[in-house]
Amino acid sequence: MNGFQLQQTVSKAEDTWRVSHFCTTRLGISRKMLVSIKHHGDILRNGQHVNVHDVLREGDEVQVLFPEETPAEDMIATQGELDILFEDDWLLVVNKPPGMASIPSRLHPERSLSNYVLGYYRQQGIPYAIHIVNRLDRDTSGLVLFAKHGLAHHRMSQMQQANQIERHYLAYAPGTVPAQTIDQPIGQTDHSFMERMVRPDGQRAVTHILNSRTIEAFNQTISLLDIRLETGRTHQIRVHLAFLGHPLIGDTMYSGEPLLPRQALHSASAVFPHPATGERVRFEAPLPEDLRLE
């Protein structure tokens, strides 16, 4: 199978640039990735092999042939249905159901969302490894982003570091929860590998509750929250709402009322510049039936 290929024309402003500078600056290829391309891929100028130290001229056609990607040896390809929201040569956007892990674990090696994506890749002849951009807890539903190949993953990671990926969640919490920003550090608890808590020595975590409206469900007042994450700490929304005294409905790990069989949290949308074009794109995952409380 062939790996990913990228082709661009050298502009007037890029005349006399070296191949290496063109690749890292114009094409956004990391230096580590460029080394891998040198050894396992190829760079062509006007159809001919070129050295990374060679000089380019205006109008040259530069084609980068990325190395073939192979999944981890212990990664199992699982066959099954995927709810695909969007797909192109750079991205795969999937709607994850509740009750499914995002990535495999030692105890559950073959039925995570990533296993099903790999199964889909094999079925479609897509020659890439798994590059998951945002993970969701097992019982959180909604939108998960996969970068199709290493370059897409590198560019998406840069966007994450620059806070350019705007992620919105819908959540149900008991009582009346006003719109607000929660800026409280989160770290691991002293008694559990899994649980997190607000603690002064934790990592900075910022959660924006943008909108809140109350509904009546389960014979009580509940707030439906529109939440934007600024950071992406483990269990961040769950921990911050528990810190406010309004743990998510169904989130028994953080003392939420067991009114649902899972925490009432849904990854609803993501907005970011497309890694290939820079055009701002938006993807949405509809609220699943078990969270339609109105």
In CATH, what number is assigned to the domain containing residue 189? 3.30.2350.10
Q: Does the pLDDT of residue 192 top 50, yes or no?
A: yes
Confidence of residue 142 (pLDDT cuts 50, 70, 90): very high
> Could you read off the pLDDT of 25-38 as tens digits, one per residue?
999 999 999 999 99
In a domain, 132, yes or no: no
Confidence of residue 148 (pLDDT cuts 50, 70, 90): very high
Instruction: List the catalytic residue out of 60, 137, 139, 251.
Output: 137
Cβ-proximal residues to 274 (8 Å cutoff; 6+ apart), any chain: 90, 91, 280, 281
In a domain, 229, yes or no: yes
181-184: which pairs have CB atoms within 8 A and are 24 or more residues apart?
Answer: 181/206, 181/207, 181/208, 181/209, 182/206, 182/207, 182/208, 182/209, 182/240, 182/243, 182/244, 184/240, 184/243
Predicted pLDDT of residue 3: 76
In CATH, what number is assigned to the domain containing residue 29? 3.10.290.10
Q: Mean pLDDT, to the nearest integer, of 220-240?
A: 96
> Could you read off the pLDDT of 52-92 as tens digits, one per residue?
999 999 999 999 999 988 888 889 999 999 999 999 999 99
C-alpha of 32 from chain center? 21
Number of domains in the chain: 2
Which of 22, 48, 65 terminates a domain? The answer is 65
Mean pLDDT, the chain, rounded, equals: 95
In a domain, 52, yes or no: yes
In a domain, 140, yes or no: no
CA–CA gap between residue 2 and residue 153 (Å, rounded): 18
> If we measure between CA atoms, which residue out of 47, 8, 44, 41 comes closest to residue 26?
8
Q: What percent of the chain has pLDDT over 70?
A: 99
In a domain, 101, yes or no: no
Q: Mean pLDDT, to the nearest integer, of 260-270?
A: 97
In a domain, 254, yes or no: yes
In a domain, 58, yes or no: yes
Domain extent at residue 55: 5-65
CA–CA gap between residue 291 and residue 80 (Å, rounded): 24
Q: Does the pLDDT of residue 242 top 60, yes or no?
A: yes
Residue position matching structure tokens 């939108």: 143
Whole-angstrom CA distances from 127 to 1, 102, 117, 150, 271 are 6, 20, 12, 12, 27
Predicted pLDDT of residue 2: 61
Enter the tokens of residue 163. Answer: 């806070």
Predicted pLDDT of residue 71: 87
Which of 65, 97, 116 terminates a domain? The answer is 65
Predicted pLDDT of residue 1: 46
In a domain, 80, yes or no: no
Sign of CA dihedral 88, 90, 96, 101: positive
pTM of the entire predicted model:
0.91
Confidence of residue 166 (pLDDT cuts 50, 70, 90): very high
CA–CA gap between residue 245 and residue 237 (Å, rounded): 12
* Nearest-10 Cα torsion for 93, 97, 102, 105: -150
The question of whether 137 is a catalytic residue gets the answer: yes
Amino acid code (one letter) for 214: T
State the CB neighbour count (10 A cutoff) for residue 237: 25
